[in-house]
Amino acid sequence: MSDTDSFIEEVTEEVRRDKLFALMKKYGWIAVLAVVVIVGSAAYNEWRKAQATAAAEKLGDDIVTAMKADDAAAREQALAGVESGSAVAGAVVAMMRAAELAEAGDAAGAVTLLDSVASNGEIPMIYRQVAGFKSLLVQGEKLDAAERRVRLEGLVTTAPTLRLPAEEQLALLDVSEGKAQDAIERLQRILADAEVTGDLRRRASQLIVSLGGELKAADQAGE
């Protein structure tokens, strides 16, 4: 290689380095910013998780403290002062308040709270369905039988978690309307369901017997 060629290569390399340096000066901040964003995002996510954990712990502590009150009315009042921090947590606290109101004899107040949760479009459907079901239980025979049946049948078809408890309530409604055989058949379907719980199996079995129905051998063994 001639001295001229060598010189040209050296100059070319210097130009490359100069251009790279210029690019770094012009655009290097972008790379630095990207690193800052990545690191900052990770730190923010950790901070957010820590905040959520702290909020959940405070909520739990506040609920435990509220539930230590001596009577249902006092517990409801204490729960009313709990800051939930989210729509879902607020729904849970509202249902707990409703339970205390019902125990204290304020069924109307309990139903109002439960219905407000059931109609809240900001929370997941399961919470709304549970609140609606609890509202039906609190109202009991005060609610028109036809309306109760429609709402319970709706839960059977749309709320997998509440399907069997709703069926049990429909069986009780059958009994109240003098439809003992319909109730027995419904209860037998509950017993045959793979998802039936031990408590529900026991209640269904006892009701079948009290209505004069017969238990299958498998159902007798499962009691």
Between CA 162 and CA 21 the distance in angstroms is 68
Instruction: List the domain range (segments joined by +) for residue 49.
Output: 7-66
> How large is the average pLDDT for residues 73-94?
90
Token output for 152? 């319970």
123 lies in the same domain as 78: yes
Q: Is residue 49 part of a domain?
A: yes
Q: Is residue 185 part of a domain?
A: yes
Residue ending a domain, among 43, 66, 89, is 66
Contacts of 59 (CB under 8 A, 6+ apart): 82, 83, 84, 85, 89
Give residue-wise pLDDT tens across range 41-53. 666 466 567 666 7
Percent of the chain whose predicted confidence (pLDDT) is above 90: 60
| pLDDT class of 86 with cuts at 50, 70, 90 | confident
Q: Which range has the worst mean pLDDT, 5-19, 54-68, 120-134?
A: 5-19
Average pLDDT, the chain: 82
Q: Is residue 151 part of a domain?
A: no
Is the full-model pTM beyond 0.85?
no
**Three state DSSP letters for 147-213:** HHHHHHHHHHHHCHHHHHHHHHHHHHHHHHCCCHHHHHHHHHHHHHCCCCCHHHHHHHHHHHHHCCC
> 166, 159 in Cβ contact below 8 A?
yes
Answer yes or no: is pLDDT of 38 > 80.
Answer: no
Number of domains into which the chain is organized? 3
Calculate ∠ Cα 122-90-152, nearest 5°: 65
